[in-house]
Amino acid sequence: RTSASRASEATPRRSLGKLERAALADLDLDEDVDAARIRARYTELVKLCHPDANGGDRSAETKLQRTIRAYQVLRKAKLA
């Protein structure tokens, strides 16, 4: 066996549901991302999309709510 095939056996592919895939898309992440990267991206987006950082912009508030919901979905699925 090649080292690539052994590596793929060591980390089995997660089976993600529709909600998890949508949550990862909302965070702009790939399906094979690890929990640390999910948390880092969530923190980054919360800071970026917070209404206080955007002069009370409503579209930023909507993006923040989507980000928080996506992270909650991923936490519930034990991916983050």
Per-residue pLDDT reduced to its tens digit, 1-36: 555 544 444 445 568 899 999 999 999 999 999 999
User: Token digits for 43?
Assistant: 């923190």
Mean pLDDT check: name the lowest of 26-30, 40-44, 59-63, 76-80: 59-63
- What residues contact residue 50 under an 8 Å CB cut-off, 6+ apart? 60, 64
The band of 53, judged by pLDDT with boundaries at 50, 70 and 90, is: confident
> Is 52 inside any structural domain?
yes
Domain containing residue 71: CATH number: 1.10.287
Query: What pLDDT, on a 0 to 100 scale, did the predictor assign at position 13?
Result: 57
> Is 4 inside any structural domain?
no
What mean pLDDT, rounded, does the chain reach? 85
Query: What pLDDT, on a 0 to 100 scale, did the predictor assign at position 8?
Result: 46
The band of 52, judged by pLDDT with boundaries at 50, 70 and 90, is: confident
Question: Range of 30's domain?
Answer: 16-76
DSSP 49-79: H-GGGGTT-HHHHHHHHHHHHHHHHHHHTT-
> Is 9 inside any structural domain?
no
Q: How many domains does the chain have?
A: 1
Number of Cβ within a 10 Å radius of residue 60 = 17
CB 39 within 8 A of CB 75: no
